[in-house]
Structure 1
Amino acid sequence: MKDKAGLADLLSEACRQMGCSWFALSHHVDFLAAPERGIRVHNYPAEWAQWFDERKLGLTDPVHRESQRRMAGFLWHHMKAERAEDEAILSEARRHGIGDGLTVPAHLPGHAHGSVSFAWKPGGVASADALQFARMIGGTAFDAARLLAHPDLAHIGPRLTRRQREVLIWSAKGESIRRIGLRLGLSPDTVREHLRNARQRYDANGGITLTVRALYDGDISFEDIAKR
């Protein structure tokens, strides 16, 4: 896949496989104000995209809000309108030929929330089988779009060395310097050195700041910290 047109072709083929009409791979940002902050590849009607952007719905659209609360994909007809304007937005979408659909969230540390959506024309219904198919391809498609927009990201390795990462994870679990050393077969001074070097890499002035930045950047995960 060399460009966004190639990605759009793949998403169109996914639409064909699911029997839907529309696709939208997008970060949840205000594209009129700051188009450089996000990625968007879609085949929605131009009039709908303009209406959507003019009202700055990238951050407040009910489908986008729902996806920010979920890790797995969901069917639109399972959503409940939470705000007075939600039904008006969905009604306007139907007026532009966009009916039921499904969305797969894309949450990447250090980046704005995003999602991959597929939609049917009014009268069509998104199915559980289609959702399962979309879940299989959604994350991969979004990652491909991210690398197409920022090819330099493909060459960025982890910020922390393996030892720095191990020491930080045990520190985030609440272990003392001495116990971390015993677990990893390191002297207390070596443990301190690894943590100090990790803080320098992240320009962090304390352990909590280091942990938050490493979590945000994806060097460590909540699962790493929760593991016994």
Structure 2
Amino acid sequence: MNHTSRPGRRWITILGVLAAVVLIVAGIMGYTGSFDRTDPGAATDMNGRPVHLDTGATPDPQASATPDGTGRFQVPAVGLNVPLGSLNAVGGTITPPGFTSAYLVRNRGVTPARASRGTVFVVTHSIHGGGTAPGNYLVDVTHQRSRLAPGVRILVDNVAYTVTGSRQITKTRLGSDPAIWTNTPGRLVIITCMLGQHGQLSPNNLIIQATQATT
């Protein structure tokens, strides 16, 4: 997706998560926005810089998304500690409404309180071009892989998990891959988008998987 910069403004590309239920094809939506400190109502990144979204890129209000209220999402190894919000998948898609929280998917898998009975699904944004969202902490842009090696500890509303691995998947295959959406006891799946090395829109999502810690 190519865009022309407006004079006097620095534009960034915001890569959002679009997940989907099994058998529905979906993937990453590319957003384009700008940092504009003159608009107090604009969405902001983790450093407080306003982000303007393209027309039509706003989340579906039926997702009933909240930016916090279900604890914290923490990855101490990379210095990530953000609110854990929640939302619903609507029409086969999941679109986080903000850039400072991770989001539990209420109507997919289970809540952290029931972690031993199924998969907890967490989604979050990554931002390219100068902005920072929780997903930026998870992506190793230089080596095009996850920053979370096997064994890294993750806390989801104080439920501890240990990373077992990660992989990339093209956005067109995300919704139809049963390995992602299977409801497996004690499993955590984190979905964010990959960041291209040279500013291009990545065709892939990054999937990080973890298993509930026993101690």
* Length-normalised TM-score, structure 2: 0.25
* Length-normalised TM-score, structure 1: 0.24
Q: Which has the larger radius of gyration?
A: 1
Higher relative contact order (CA 8 A, sep 6+): 2
- Structure with more of its chain in helix, by fraction: 1
